[in-house]
Amino acid sequence: MPQPPTSTAIIGAGIAGLACGQALRATGRPAHLFDKGRAPGGRMSSRRLPDAVVDLGAQFFSVRDPAFRHQVGAWQDAGHVATWPDALWQVTETGWQRHRDGVERFIGTPRMSAVTRQLAEGLDVVTGTRIERLEAQDDQWWLLDQHQLRHGPFARVVIAIPTPQAAALLVEHEPSLAEACEAVTQRPCWAGWARFDAPLPSLPGVDDDWQAVRLDHDRMPAVEALRFASRNDHKPGRHDQGESLSLLARLEWSEAHLALDAEAVARQLLEAFRERLPRGVTLPEPSDLGAHLWRYAQPDICAAGEPINLDYRRSSTGLALCGDGWRGPRVEDAWLSGHHLGEALAADTPGSLRDWRLP
């Protein structure tokens, strides 16, 4: 359907694309979002099992920036997020210890995807639509999806997807912007889950209400498969579901096991967790196991030594890029990237443009 000439298309309805859409909406500018997934959320997705919901992407997020703090405060007041975990543990070679670092962390409630569901409210989000090509025509943009359907025309296109996927859309139109995308590596991560019919056993020396455990610090060997485990039924709003674990692999391990099938990955991650249980503890057999490979899980933007830290990129031809790849590897970075781009597009005066070519 033809769009008003000032309208903006946003490819990707993860937290960055949604934050951008909401910043435009706040100034009355129409934005149309397209996502290849069944629902918005991207790397903040949760998976529904028959009797449990497991978080497969972000497990929690922290807050540093005042604008994000304001947003998180509003979500908290409306019951979409809660602080979690308050019983975080870490495993070292000498066993389990309580991890206290004074950092306040948050989670979506009753599942992580509640945050992006809430952000999608009031926005026009088309799901199940993979944008495969952009076409320029008469200073306007058309989007072509996997069924060769054309969407548009749009005055501007925001690309809010992981940088390697963004590069593929840009190469035909903005080769140097595509090159900037290719310079940001996104590392893969396997995320597994295990569901149990029986409760997990008590762990000697560990409080029964432990909620999550880290294994990814420098006192653990780098060959370790697992970096983080969380108990989904110990998250706010999920106390009535059965026991389940989310099991995140180390990035190095994920890179070395890309070709493994999902069930084998889930078994290895569960085995890695089992090996780190205190001596003498027996884990029940899981009633359900699985894993998801995030091919583009975490941007490696510090690889060159310095974070790029420009928040987003724009071209003079109406294309723009946002997402965690332009700022940092966290939920907060992705939100800020999209929010700042949305504000800049809404203002759209030459002085407000942070052109991607600027150093």
**Beta carbon nearer to ligand FAD, 158 or 206:** 158
User: What's the residue count for the chain?
Assistant: 359
DSSP per-residue codes, 158-195: EE-S-HHHHHHHHTTT-HHHHHHHHTS-EEEEEEEEEE
What is d(CA 123, CA 18) in angstroms, rounded to the nearest whole number? 8
Contact with ligand FAD (CB under 6 A): which of 9, 52, 53, 160? 160
**Beta carbon nearer to ligand FAD, 147 or 279:** 147
Binding mask 294-333 for ligand FAD (x = CB under 6 A): x--xx------------------------xx----xxx--
Interactions with ligand FAD, residue window 110-139 (CB under 6 A)? 130-131
- Establish if 193 lies at the interface with ligand FAD (CB under 6 A): no
Residue 285 tokens, joined = 């057999």
Q: Name the minimum Å distance from CB 247 to ligand FAD.
A: 10
Q: Quick one: how many helices (H) and strands (E) in the chain?
A: 8, 21
Interactions with ligand FAD, residue window 4-43 (CB under 6 A)? 11-17, 34-37, 42-43
Q: Name the minimum Å distance from CB 27 to ligand FAD.
A: 21
Tokens 């940001």 locate to: 184
DSSP per-residue codes, 274-313: HHTSPTT--PPPPSEEEEEEEEEEEE-TTTTSS------E
Closest CB to ligand FAD belongs to which residue? 14
- Establish if 242 lies at the interface with ligand FAD (CB under 6 A): no
Largest CA distance in the chain: 71
Q: At what angle do helices 15-25 and 331-347 cross, to 10 degrees?
A: 30
User: What residue ranges bind ligand FAD (CB under 6 A)?
Assistant: 11-17, 34-37, 42-44, 57-61, 130-131, 160-162, 165, 189, 191, 248, 294, 297-298, 323-324, 329-331, 334
